[in-house]
Amino acid sequence: AQTVTQSQPEMSVQEAETVTLSCTYDTSESDYYLFWYKQPPSRQMILVIRQEAYKQQNATENRFSVNFQKAAKSFSLKISDSQLGDAAMYFCASTLTYKYIFGTGTRLKVLA
């Protein structure tokens, strides 16, 4: 069975600084995708970044990048130059087909 674990319930970062959110997962499959989603107070889940397991290169989207360690089953999200608008719940997720397994989330606070 797939599992996704986020061990940091809450993180804080100073505006313009860098923060890393941790995620570990477990799956016996080889063809899977990993994601980070952001859920602001509006409650809509917004895709931040995705990583295909077969790709060795770490995904990057502007200020957001991941550190994908396949052997260690680790998938952390780095947010550079943090902005007030980055404050939200961040969920790590994995999928084999179209069934997503989510972690419990990390609440990110951005301090002005």
Binding site for another protein (CB under 8 A): 33, 35, 37, 42-47, 50, 91, 95, 97-105
Minimum gap (Å) between residue 17 Cβ and another protein: 28
Measured from the CB atom, is 2 or 20 closer to another protein? 2
Q: How many CB atoms lie within 10 A of CB 19?
A: 20
Beta carbons of 33 and 56 less than 8 angstroms apart: no
Measured from the CB atom, is 5 or 12 closer to another protein? 5
Minimum gap (Å) between residue 101 Cβ and another protein: 7
Measured from the CB atom, is 65 or 95 closer to another protein? 95
Burial class (CB in 10 A: 0-12, 13-18, 19+), 86: buried
Minimum gap (Å) between residue 24 Cβ and another protein: 16
CA triplet 97, 101, 105: central angle to 5 degrees? 145
